[in-house]
Structure 1
Amino acid sequence: MSTPPPGPGRTSHDLPGDRRGPAGRPGSRGQQAHCDARSPAETSTPASWHVDGPTPLAPDANTFDHLLLALDAACVGVWDWDVAGGTLRWDRRTAELHGIGLDAFDGTMEAFLALVHPSDAPNIQARIAMALASGGCILEEYRVMRPDGSHAWLQGRGRTITDTTGQIVRLAGVCADTTELRHEREQAGRAMQHVSDGVAVYDNEGRFVFVNAVASRLLGYDPSELLGKPMWDVYPEIIGSAFEKLYLQARRTQVPGGFEGYYGPLAGYFEVRLFPAPDGMTVYFRNVDDRRRAEAQRAELIRSLSSALDRARKLFDITAALGQALTVPDVTDAVARAARDDLGADVAAIILIGEEGRLCMVGPTTQPKQVNRVLERISGRAATATSDVLRTAHARFDASRAEYLADYPHVGALLEMAGLGRMAHLPMIISGRPIGVILLGWASEQIFDTDERAFLTTLAGHCAHAIERARLYDRQLSVTEALQQAILPRHLPTVAGVDLTARYLPAGRDVDVGGDWYDALALPDDSLMLIVGDVGGHGLRAATVMAELKHAARAYAMLGQSPAAITGQLSASLTASGSEVYATAVVVCLNVTNQMLTWSCAGHPPPLVLDGASPAFLEEVHGPILGAVDNLVYRQDTMALPPGARLLLYSDGLVERRDTSISDRLDFLSAVAAGANTMGLDAACDRLLDEVAGPSGREDDLCLLAADLLDIR
């Protein structure tokens, strides 16, 4: 017989013992339970008692009296049933516990069962029959109906007794009132019903003693289908599982434990906590599928956000690089760097639609030339992904070489030569019209996911606008440069007794063409007019004003006007034009016959004269910039030049630097010019450009016009 669970609806279970099945598992199927109340050292003795005589109790009467006294003091009754004779003997306490006097009990099993609640009597009869059939013990809780109409819970505990032949002749034991204990267990059971976790209580045989409603729902069984059954009978799949190992460990060590894992029979993830006790095990468990799903979704969201932030950073870096690219080759190099550093691509190229629809590939300058040639051959074929993407305006992604060759088998050898495993062809579209394709290639085969495709498509859009801007810049630069080159003299005049040379350097590629210009004109009176001017600003407007001033100055010189008159006329013309730009100029007239030099300066850096090794700036006359003052009369001055003197006219682009004072820069120009005075004029000009102008750091274009007076005497 068994102890009831801590909840309603359960009246009996087998007495816990030390019985083990295969692999040391308690409560294995197919074995009968028996009572074993002895210490572990005595568990090898038989389960039932054996007596040689008819007396089932201890032969020492004095000991027997003390035992009865102790039991009575503990409100425990004693009973003994003679199986063969059918006589059931009670003591006074047992009768009182059943609600009657001892003299009112007739000593029959029928009289006993008549006092038991009708619902519990069949369980008692079944337990007695089981004990008589197999030997062992009985442990049963049952209700008794008292004369006043109330009922009480009693627990009967007993053991079979055999004779010398092994025949069961008696059942003997004790009984006690467990009503209060039962109520406490029922109260605890009701509390357990409100716990959000599943709760299952097992005895030491691994049998279900109690399950709450949550556990019943999670396990998929009604409590009546579980109570009293070993867990291994209900769920044989747990044999050898992590749960069983933890269960046996907790039972052996009496240390709580827990784990989380997937349980196949219930098709879900469960968090399990085990709390062992000497008489069994309490297990709390809950389904954590929703939590794990939420954690997985959160992890995926974090991964997605991290990926999106990473792609946004890459796109920002690429956009910044494209923003600094002024020419189509610059854009291609920026795309190649981004493809290599951010996308892991091995090759890149841009194929543009040129004049008359011809395709033109622009390979990165950082990429080996042989690779660019192979890519050009691949994209230049009639039937390739490039032409199809331009025709459909839809990107094409080939995750493997085989995928690409399925449509374009004729380029297999070229792909092998380029070492490409996967490719992406991205159309660049402006105003709904494809202007070209970005070709990206990887050596390894890889799947293009949705995010990567969207990223590459966005990248192509940014590149399309950068290409369009670069083309516009190239067109504007070409027009401006052509205009400026048309303004600058193609040849300097040849004048006896004078050696002339000139240099012009545009500003950096990231700055529009400026307004610096120079001119040299041989006049009818055998004199030589030299002019260097600078229009403020850059671009087409500056070049236009420069052309106007240059042609006006030449016309005034041909009319025989003096340098001061020319600067005055240029200033008046610029003022009358209403232009908001400013300009500077220095006008020099050199009379070769008498070697007299006359000059006028309007806001321009002063000319430099080198007489032998002694340089000198002509700073005696210096007027304001052109157009600053209405009707201004500029001054001029005249000086005689010795034979062999060198004259340098230049624009401020040669000497001005943002981080250095103009005085220091002029001193530096004077020193370098003095050091190069023994050199030929061309070599001296090259040295000035190398050392004074420098290879980088210039923010403006520059002009240098130099003249050597030859000693022809």
Structure 2
Amino acid sequence: MGSGGDDRPRLHRHANDLPAPPGSDGGGPARVLLALDTAGVGIWEWDVAANRLRWDQRTADLHGVELGSFAGTAEAFFSCVHPSDLPFLRARMDTVLATGESFLEEFRVVRPDGSPVWLQVRGGIVGDDAGRVVRVTGICTDATGLRAGREQAGRALQQVSDGVLVFDNDSRFVFVNTVMSRLLGCDTCEPVGEQFLDLEPSLMGPAFEKLYLQALDTQLPVESEADYAAFGGHFEVRLFPSPEGITAYFRNVDERRRAEAHRAALITSLSSALGRARQLFDVTAALGQALTVPDVADVIVRSAWDDLGADCAIIMLVGDEGRVRVVTPTVQSERISRLLELISARGTAATPDVLRTARARFDSRAEHLADYPHARSLLEAAAVAWIAHIPLIVSGKPIGVIVLLWESERVFDADERAFLTTLAGHCAHALERVRLYEKQLSVSEALQRAILPQRLPELAGVELAARYLPAGRDVDVGGDWYDALVLPTGELTLIVGDVGGHGLRAATVMAELRHAARAYALLSHPPAMITSQLSSNLAASDSAVYATAVVACLDMAEKTLTWSCAGHPPPLLLDGDCPAFLEVVHGPILGAVDNLAYRQDTVTLPTRARLLLYSDGLVERRDASITDRLAVLATVAAQSDTLSLDALCDRLLTEVAGPSGREDDLCLLAADIHGPGSRTRTPTG
């Protein structure tokens, strides 16, 4: 049945349902003949011994021969066959006579007017008692339309990007498109007529043979993916059975598998990042509850065990006298206690270098011994395979070192090193906070001073100043906070927040929000993502408190300010003596709606500008509307254009907040923004 340029007739070895030959008792032969004639089917019979070939009228018409003039011999029939098909057809008939097998052939005949017509002939054998073929009888139909349809389908299949194979019911190739011929390494016509089971086994492979036999047995579409080494890749193979045979489609899926592998790696990376963010948040929350150095040490040790898989965690702090001491946590095993005693007596070899350089070390046992050979006894006592020294840094100054020990092999990629460094930063701030508390400061002062930045960062072209004042009456610790940090990208993030209420719970939530906001900022999250995540964290905490916040990111390279406001008083931007509130509110108070996506806006800054972020304690009063109070703030700020930033902050506290009568604590974070080369304000007042 070939197509795609192959005109040779092809055998289909089926002899089922052959019609009764002329003259036989077929059980109503007249009705059978009428049905066949109506369907355009001719009947023929060949008496082999007498070499007598008998046609009915339909068969003669199909050959374009007058029935009365047909000589009735095999040679007369062969004279009608197209010269290109004649050699094969003669050989085929010789095979049929020799083997006695039934047959199905397609070939061309040339009619007297010279037009070629495709015929399909199906025949069966009648033999004598000795097994000799005495008669061949069968039917004949016009296959020209069928061939045209196949050729059209073949042309279409040549255009598809998949490799396509078509098999007849004898598992012979009847069509191979160009893509598949390249995979097979042959011409499209070369395998036509061959049985694929006769090919070299390694060419198609056992996976295809199994799939083919499944489709042949079930007569249902099947598909699978497998590696086809001979084709040079991984292929998706689909087989579709039909009454005429099986069509197979081969699609290379290497690119898709690479994309899926990349997507899986990305998902794994994102999952790992989310897992680290959750660990960071959990540790930050636990650190926010700690009030003593051993409490913080316990949080660090538990996190090292549970989240980092470390076998031992050691915290060493620099005391006021400059000596390094080991902090003893309340959670420890007897073996760790002995190890701590050993370290307390001699310390770890790398600790002085880490404190001096403020740089972390991540060493294998061999790497560590190469730099500190005298540490062998300590590493042997701890059964150490990997060791990490991570400095605890507050305001740029190392206050101690966290030492993590693993008894098994450990590989630290860049992400994990960054995570451990960030985690150590939070631990450092927590340790600094509780050390202040342990110096017998009041609860209010200890919490506020440990949570708020000890000093503001420095960035070229920007001057920062901040103020915090507790409430004017005798109340517990409040929930106002601010933060400022320079990101690795060179941008400056400014944050002011306010947790409703007072007391330890408000301070705890404040600490959690502040540490979380700082962590998200250090991960280079934009302001809207930070407010969104803070809101989700607060909503999920069931803390039953509310909070507001404004997060602003200053890009000095682009001279732009991007901010996101979550139910917070609007930032005030001053261009000289022209004040303007950034009044866009990007969402409600934090925690009001779970999984709410906050928005953000960006403005281009003038050459010289001042930015004020503040909590509501600066402007709210029982006896005045918030609109009037904001107008007072804008007026005083505009009139203070010539003052230095510190003088401006002091004036706002005096004239806007007032010396007394405040019902809430307040914080103020101010930025004087001037590009490189621009003239700064002359301090006055």
CA separation in 2, counterparts of 1:143 and 1:232? 29
Look up the match of 1:448: 412
CA separation in 1, counterparts of 2:278 and 2:58? 88
CA separation in 2, counterparts of 1:372 and 1:119? 97
1:343 paired to 2:340:
no
Contact persistence 1:232–1:238 (CA under 8 A): no
CA separation in 1, counterparts of 2:270 and 2:185? 40
Look up the match of 1:204: 169
- Give unpaired runs (5+ residues) of structure 1: 18-35, 40-55, 481-505, 514-534, 539-713
- Aligned partner of 1:395: which letter? A
* Cα distance, 1:245 vs structure 2: 3.8
Contact persistence 2:9–2:85 (CA under 8 A): no
Look up the match of 2:460: none
* Cα distance, 1:154 vs structure 2: 1.0
Q: Which residue of 423, 426, 430 corresponds with 1:462?
A: 426
Contact persistence 1:396–1:426 (CA under 8 A): yes
CA separation in 1, counterparts of 2:17 and 2:26? 24
* Cα distance, 1:57 vs structure 2: 8.0
Contact persistence 2:363–2:388 (CA under 8 A): yes
CA separation in 2, counterparts of 1:386 and 1:65? 107
1:115 paired to 2:94:
no
1:438 paired to 2:417:
no
Distance 1:439 1:93, change over 3 A: same
Once the two structures are superposed, the pairs formed by residues 134-283 of structure 1 within 5 Å of their partners are: 134-159=99-124, 173-190=138-155, 192=157, 199-212=164-177, 216=181, 222-234=187-199, 236-237=201-202, 241=206, 243-283=208-248
| SS of equivalent to 2:193 | coil
CA separation in 2, counterparts of 1:63 and 1:463? 99
| SS of equivalent to 1:225 | coil
| SS of equivalent to 1:371 | helix
CA separation in 2, counterparts of 1:291 and 1:209? 30
Distance 1:100 1:134, change over 3 A: same
* Cα distance, 1:276 vs structure 2: 3.1
* Cα distance, 1:459 vs structure 2: 2.0
Look up the match of 2:6: 9
CA separation in 2, counterparts of 1:450 and 1:411? 26
Q: Which residue of 23, 46, 56 corresponds with 1:80?
A: 46
- Aligned partner of 2:86: which letter? A
Look up the match of 1:124: 89
CA separation in 2, counterparts of 1:249 and 1:7? 28
- Aligned partner of 2:415: which letter? D
CA separation in 1, counterparts of 2:26 and 2:403? 108
Q: Deviations over 1:366-417 (max 9, x none)?
A: 3358625524634865883434545665433346x67756765655554454
Contact persistence 2:11–2:106 (CA under 8 A): no
* Cα distance, 1:270 vs structure 2: 3.9
Q: Which residue of 12, 16, 27 corresponds with 1:37?
A: 16
Distance 1:391 1:165, change over 3 A: farther
Q: Deviations over 1:280-335 (max 9, x none)?
A: 33445534444443333333322222221121122233344445667655543442
Look up the match of 1:427: 391
Larger radius of gyration: 1
CA separation in 2, counterparts of 1:339 and 1:303? 22
* Cα distance, 1:271 vs structure 2: 3.9
Distance 1:512 1:310, change over 3 A: closer
| SS of equivalent to 1:115 | coil
Distance 1:334 1:166, change over 3 A: closer
* Cα distance, 1:225 vs structure 2: 2.9
* Cα distance, 1:137 vs structure 2: 3.6
| SS of equivalent to 2:423 | helix
Q: Deviations over 1:234-273 (max 9, x none)?
A: 4625999454444334433434444444444435444444
CA separation in 2, counterparts of 1:192 and 1:111? 38
Distance 1:278 1:91, change over 3 A: closer
CA separation in 1, counterparts of 2:173 and 2:229? 20
Distance 1:472 1:130, change over 3 A: same
CA separation in 1, counterparts of 2:296 and 2:55? 107
CA separation in 1, counterparts of 2:247 and 2:193? 15
Distance 1:109 1:461, change over 3 A: same
Once the two structures are superposed, the pairs formed by residues 296-445 of structure 1 within 5 Å of their partners are: 296-322=261-287, 329=294, 331-353=296-318, 359-367=324-332, 371-372=336-337, 374-375=339-340, 377-378=342-343, 381=346, 384-387=349-352, 389-390=354-355, 393-398=358-363, 411=375, 414-415=378-379, 417-418=381-382, 420-429=384-393, 435-445=399-409
Contact persistence 1:397–1:448 (CA under 8 A): yes
Report the identity percentage. Answer: 55
Look up the match of 1:101: 66
CA separation in 2, counterparts of 1:353 and 1:507? 23
Distance 1:149 1:394, change over 3 A: farther
CA separation in 2, counterparts of 1:14 and 1:369? 86
Q: Give TM-score, length-normalised by structure 2.
A: 0.53
Q: CA RMSD for the aligned pairs? A: 4.7
- Give unpaired runs (5+ residues) of structure 2: 450-471, 476-685
Distance 1:455 1:64, change over 3 A: closer
Look up the match of 1:23: none
Once the two structures are superposed, the pairs formed by residues 671-686 of structure 1 within 5 Å of their partners are: none
- Aligned partner of 2:63: which letter? H
Contact persistence 2:354–2:360 (CA under 8 A): yes
Distance 1:168 1:386, change over 3 A: farther
Contact persistence 1:79–1:94 (CA under 8 A): no
